[in-house]
Amino acid sequence: MDFINHQLFIKDINVHIDPILPKKTAIITHGHADHARFGHDHVIATRQTIDIMKIRYGDKCAKKFTPLRYGQRYSIKNFDFTLYPAGHILGSAQVLIEKDNHRLVITGDYKVGKDETCKNFKLVKCDTLITEATFGLPIFQHPDPKDEIQKLIRSVKMNKNNCHIVGAYALGKAQRVMNLLRQQNYNETIYIHGSLEKLCEYYSKEKINIGKFEKVSSKDKNFYEGKIIIAPPSALKDRWSRRFPNPIICMASGWMTVKQRAKQQGIELPLVISDHSDWNELLDTINKSKAKNILITHGQEDALVYYCKKQNLLSKPLSIQGRSDEEIE
Amino acid sequence: MKKFSSLLHNLILTPSRNIKIKLLQDYFKTLDINRAYALAILSNQLSFQFIKASKLRELVYEKVDQHLFDYSYDYVGDLAETISLIWPTKKEGKSENLSTLIENIKKIKKSEINIEFSKILSQLSNNERWTLIKICTGGLRIGVSERLVKTALADLYHKSVNEIEEIWHGLEFPYENLFQWLKNETSKPKIDFKKLFHPMMLANPIDEEKDFKRLNASEFQAEFKWDGIRVQLMVSSKSVSLYSRTGDNISSAFPEIIENTKGDAVIDGELLVGRNFKPSSFNDLQQRINRKKASRDLQKKFPVFIRAYDILFYKGKDLRKLFLCERRKYLEKFQKENKTNQIDLSSIIKFKTWKELTKYKNNSYDDLNEGVMIKLNNSEYLPGRKKGYWYKWKKNPKLVDAILMYAQRGHGKRSSYYSDFTFGVWKENELVPIGKAYSGYTDKELLVLDKFIRNNTTNKFGPVREVKKEIIFEVAFDDVFPSSRHKSGVAMRFPRIHRIRWDKPTNEVLSIEEFKKEFKIG
């Protein structure tokens, strides 16, 4: 495992995983902006991640693209790379790196729970595990997302004169919320913020059931009474949200577990729906991976490092520059 | 319990006053005993003897690894919420009524509290657990004032909120007479006003620039502002009782007052520790407050007395509509008739101009008062903090420069920021902490400090971050005492960040010896 440094850089072959700055060869775990950036020479990722990067940054956002199927091996000199589903968002992948009989897995962002909008997480046994720790505290125990989405549906039924604006990250979370609504037989048109349109269209094209959606365009205030609108979190505080009648501000995020955080952000209806593993899932993954060496990246790493040390697993935090320790998802 | 916990959950999250009122009213419409409990909880009138924050920590450490709990508490910044989230849930039991649950808890014996209360916590959902812990520890902090609860009730039954206020302190759980009157089933509850705590008159801070130009010194009376605890003493031939500012009966903690006071009056004053009416430090007073009972020994070591400011009733006569200057005559009369070692009068400062008063404020004859009070001679005794009648003018605080050493995340609304700061002064080539402050900075400064701390952490001790020794605070504080509990040998009273000294190099900060010398600590 000495072949990779704390920046997830493999010097021997000049390969980076999820680099922040433009690099020669970049393996990209998924399309979120803190992982997938513009301007690399060569991007290696799943087909869907490459599609998403092109939608967000344009077709020429990298000079060369190599799409990999899940499970397909790709070699650079004596390093073998394989991508496995991470269950985080559409196209998200873990990276298995094999060298001289050492297996190292970089989970990227992942969740273990079921999700119809992407391939479900696959556990990969390894010697060294580099895991994320976004929700690495035992207070984070995500509830069943179906119950959370029912809260939204109940509130919509009870408050017919209000509209519900749901803050959800534009890529992944927004479509997951839409899909969860459909699973619970909510069949009305869902209204979306303009910045979500292309990604929603892409999810539809990939045959993810997000149902009928339409961009917010009507000037008639009352038109949105009783409707569900999905917007990126940044738009909640923006002028944009003022156009709606008596909005009830909702947010779909794992952070919503903590009431004080919801209150700080002015969220009236918190929905604990996360695309990251919760505490128990993180521990379970660490244990089942059989890895003896655990490195922990961005998030609440202190508690997880403490836990691993107690289990006699070699463990240390990896601080990767450019990832803030909070409010990413 | 489900219904009440979702009420609290919704109250904390809605910013709208009208929606809060509506939520409260929906709950109060239920006609059973639960609404009485809800009213008691929302107005902070329910308390549990055995279940305090320290007990809850003890219980949670039995269930959860202590370090993991501490990391989590540091992140969440709210004890009730951390425990409710981290508590290992069994399969949820059937949800008890709020009233049944509280009555069950009240029945638990002290010796069985650990087992029984843990059992209850395990059967609740997250949100119910959060609610129960908030109820037990008191101080809900859900953005609902007592006044708002009364307003919701008044509006629901078309009464005026002032009518409720008037009788409020005379009401008792389960408030049958209140609810019956609200529903027009009976007349307004009869309250024995003589036995009732009367909301106190409070002062506003003076605005030196504006107010002194506007106010005529000859219309005001000045007194020293004593640094004790404000009390209301109710004395009659039948009984004596002592109330705190918030209306809690604190008689049992100060038996010497109760046993020795005579007469028939309601007195407003300051409770102080000292012999022969000479107050000693607030540090001494702290030995007496927050204790339910006082042993003979403690009474001897730290005797208390009341310095009387005002009189509300005299021999059954309501004086509150009289002016202060007239009430003062009654107060002096009361004092003359009932001389004891427990009550003296707050003396009146003679002054002609505001400038003359300044020297009393800053150079008071001993260090034990906090400044002066300025009261309109023609002021009735009005409950609350009405503008234009009473002013407080605090002494300039003491100031010292100290270096930021450690930081920790704050609580409540500051829970994601590093907002609790420990600062120190030099001891040879090292720093020794002299205090901790959580306030005084602006929101903008907080952002800068938070960023500095995240980027300049040199060491972590659990939730505490040690930082590069670069930032100097000018710390304001009311007083400083010798202390054997602190490494530096000093303890500050009410330290707060006065400003950040970006201009000053750290080597100009005092040493602990210089600090002690400057503030006269032996």
Look at residue B283 and tell me whether its pLDDT is greater than 80. no
Residues of A within 8 A of B75 (CB-CB) are 137, 139, 258, 300
- Let me know whether B380 and B403 are in one domain: no
What pLDDT score does A329 carry? 40
Residue A252 structure tokens: 């779909």
In whole angstroms, give the CA distance from residue B433 to residue B415.
23
What pLDDT score does B374 carry? 96
Distance from CA of B6 to the nearest CA of A (A): 12
CB A280 within 8 A of CB A302: no
| Cβ-based contacts under 8 A for chains A and B | 65
Residue B481 structure tokens: 């005492």
- Let me know whether B235 and B376 are in one domain: yes
Q: Tell me if chain A has a CB within 8 Å of the CB of B12.
A: yes
Q: Which of B6, B81, B461 to mutate to test the interface with A (most CBs of A within 10 A)?
A: B81
What's the CATH code of the domain at B317?
A: 3.30.470.30
- Per the CB < 8 Å rule, is A137 touching B12? no
In whole angstroms, give the CA distance from residue A296 to residue A321.
14
CB B423 within 8 A of CB B433: yes
- Which residue range forms the structural domain that includes residue B433? 398-518
In whole angstroms, give the CA distance from residue A197 to residue A157.
26
Number of domains in chain B: 3
Domain final residue pick, B371, B394, B417: B394
- Let me know whether B314 and B217 are in one domain: yes
- Let me know whether B212 and B348 are in one domain: yes
Q: Tell me if chain A has a CB within 8 Å of the CB of B85.
A: yes
Asked, for residue B249, whether it belongs to a domain, the answer is yes
- Per the CB < 8 Å rule, is B81 touching A263? no
- Note if the bond before B174 is cis, omega within 30 degrees: yes
Q: Tell me if chain A has a CB within 8 Å of the CB of B76.
A: yes
Q: Tell me if chain B has a CB within 8 Å of the CB of A89.
A: no
In whole angstroms, give the CA distance from residue B159 to residue B162.
9
What pLDDT score does B367 carry? 62
- Per the CB < 8 Å rule, is A258 touching B81? yes
Question: Which residue is associated with the tokens 């980027």?
Answer: B455
Asked, for residue B168, whether it belongs to a domain, the answer is no
Tell me the DSSP string of A169-183: -TTTHHHHHHHHHHH
- Let me know whether B367 and B402 are in one domain: no
Distance from CA of B76 to the nearest CA of A (A): 7
DSSP state of A237: S
Tell me the DSSP string of B29-75: T--SHHHHHHHHHHTT----SS--HHHHHHHHHHHS-HHHHHHHHHH
Residue A78 structure tokens: 């004596």
- Per the CB < 8 Å rule, is B85 touching A141? yes
pTM > 0.90: no
CB A176 within 8 A of CB A273: yes
Burial class (CB in 10 A: 0-12, 13-18, 19+), B259: exposed
Residue A217 structure tokens: 């365009």
In whole angstroms, give the CA distance from residue B28 to residue B41.
13
Give contacts of B 431-470 with A, CB under 8 A.
Answer: 460
Q: Which whole number is the average pLDDT over B460-471?
A: 87
CB B97 within 8 A of CB B131: no
Q: What share of chain B is helix, strand, coil (3-state, %, to 5)?
A: 40, 25, 35
Domains of chain A in start order, with CATH, are 9-139+276-317 (3.60.15.10), 145-271 (3.40.50)
Asked, for residue B95, whether it belongs to a domain, the answer is yes
Give contacts of B 414-433 with A, CB under 8 A.
Answer: 415-416
CB A63 within 8 A of CB A19: no
In whole angstroms, give the CA distance from residue B221 to residue B377.
6
Q: Tell me if chain B has a CB within 8 Å of the CB of A269.
A: yes
The interface predicted TM-score (ipTM) is: 0.92
Asked, for residue B151, whether it belongs to a domain, the answer is no
CB B515 within 8 A of CB B435: no
Q: Tell me if chain B has a CB within 8 Å of the CB of A259.
A: yes
Residue A122's alpha-carbon distances to A90, A114, A118, B418, in angstroms, are: 14, 11, 12, 38
Residue B355's alpha-carbon distances to A76, B211, B221, B352, B373, in angstroms, are: 84, 13, 14, 8, 15
Q: Which of A260, A266, A307 sits opposite B81 (nearest CB)?
A: A260
Average pLDDT of chain B?
Answer: 89
What pLDDT score does B93 carry? 67
Q: Which of B6, B23, B68, B74 to mutate to test the interface with A (most CBs of A within 10 A)?
A: B68
The helix/strand/coil state of B497 is: strand
In whole angstroms, give the CA distance from residue A261 to residue A251.
11
- Per the CB < 8 Å rule, is A263 touching B12? yes
- Let me know whether B96 and B68 are in one domain: yes
Q: How many Cβ atoms sit within 10 Å of the Cβ of residue A175?
A: 30
Nearest CA in chain A to B410: A260
What pLDDT score does B58 carry? 94
Q: How many Cβ atoms sit within 10 Å of the Cβ of residue B285?
A: 19
Q: Tell me if chain B has a CB within 8 Å of the CB of A237.
A: no
Q: Which whole number is the average pLDDT over B113-119?
A: 92
Residue B237 structure tokens: 């031939």
Nearby residues of B342 by Cβ (< 8 Å), 6 or more positions away: B256, B257, B260, B261, B304, B305, B306
Residue B500's alpha-carbon distances to A48, A252, B56, B85, B477, in angstroms, are: 51, 39, 37, 37, 15
Q: What is the pLDDT along chain A (329 residues), one digit of tens a residue?
A: 689 988 899 999 999 999 999 999 999 999 999 999 999 999 999 999 999 999 999 999 999 999 999 999 999 999 999 999 999 999 999 999 999 999 999 999 999 999 999 999 999 999 999 999 999 999 999 999 999 999 999 999 999 999 999 999 999 999 999 999 999 999 999 999 999 999 999 999 999 999 999 999 877 878 999 999 999 998 887 778 778 888 899 999 999 999 988 988 889 999 999 999 999 999 999 999 999 999 998 778 889 999 999 998 888 888 664 454 444 44
Q: Which of B12, B15, B72 sits opposite A259 (nearest CB)?
A: B12
pLDDT band of B22, cuts 50, 70, 90: very high
- Let me know whether B235 and B369 are in one domain: yes
Q: Which of B9, B64, B412 sits opposite A260 (nearest CB)?
A: B412
In whole angstroms, give the CA distance from residue A55 to residue A71.
25
Asked, for residue B160, whether it belongs to a domain, the answer is no
Look at residue B91 and tell me whether its pLDDT is greater than 70. no
Look at residue B422 and tell me whether its pLDDT is greater than 50. yes
Q: Tell me if chain A has a CB within 8 Å of the CB of B77.
A: yes
Nearby residues of B244 by Cβ (< 8 Å), 6 or more positions away: B229, B230, B231, B250
The helix/strand/coil state of A239 is: helix
Q: Tell me if chain B has a CB within 8 Å of the CB of A306.
A: yes
- Per the CB < 8 Å rule, is A300 touching B75? yes
Q: Tell me if chain A has a CB within 8 Å of the CB of B64.
A: yes
Domain final residue pick, B363, B394, B425: B394
- Per the CB < 8 Å rule, is A264 touching B415? yes
Distance from CA of B436 to the nearest CA of A (A): 24
Among B54, B56, B52, B24, smallest CA distance to B157 is for: B24
Q: Tell me if chain B has a CB within 8 Å of the CB of A266.
A: yes
- Let me know whether B249 and B372 are in one domain: yes
What's the CATH code of the domain at B472?
A: 2.40.50.140
Q: Which whole number is the average pLDDT over B166-186?
A: 89
CB B185 within 8 A of CB B253: no
- Let me know whether B306 and B366 are in one domain: yes
Asked, for residue B148, whether it belongs to a domain, the answer is no
Q: Which of A260, A263, A307 sits opposite B76 (nearest CB)?
A: A260
Q: Which of A260, A307, A326 sits opposite B77 (nearest CB)?
A: A260
Nearest CA in chain B to A141: B85
Residue B357 structure tokens: 């008063």
Q: Tell me if chain A has a CB within 8 Å of the CB of B79.
A: no
pLDDT tens-digit profile of B319-330? 999 999 999 999
- Let me know whether B229 and B373 are in one domain: yes
Q: How many Cβ atoms sit within 10 Å of the Cβ of residue A319?
A: 12
Distance from CA of A266 to the nearest CA of B (A): 7
Q: Tell me if chain B has a CB within 8 Å of the CB of A137.
A: yes
- Per the CB < 8 Å rule, is A260 touching B78? yes
Asked, for residue B154, whether it belongs to a domain, the answer is no
- Let me know whether B478 and B507 are in one domain: yes
Q: Tell me if chain A has a CB within 8 Å of the CB of B410.
A: no
Domain final residue pick, B96, B116, B137: B137
Distance from CA of A160 to the nearest CA of B (A): 15
Residues of A within 8 A of B69 (CB-CB) are 138
- Let me know whether B36 and B120 are in one domain: yes
Q: Tell me if chain A has a CB within 8 Å of the CB of B412.
A: yes
Cross-strand pairs, B304: B273
- Per the CB < 8 Å rule, is B86 touching A326? no
What's the CATH code of the domain at B105?
A: 1.10.3260.10
Q: What is the distance of C-alpha B63 from the center of its chain? A: 32
Q: Rounded to the nearest 5°, which phi and psi values hold at B373?
A: -105, 140
Element (H, E) at A167: strand A163-167
Q: Which of A135, A137, A161, A164 to mutate to test the interface with B (most CBs of B within 10 A)?
A: A137
Residues of B within 8 A of A268 (CB-CB) are 13-15
Asked, for residue B62, whether it belongs to a domain, the answer is yes
Q: Which of A257, A262, A263 sits opposite B85 (nearest CB)?
A: A257
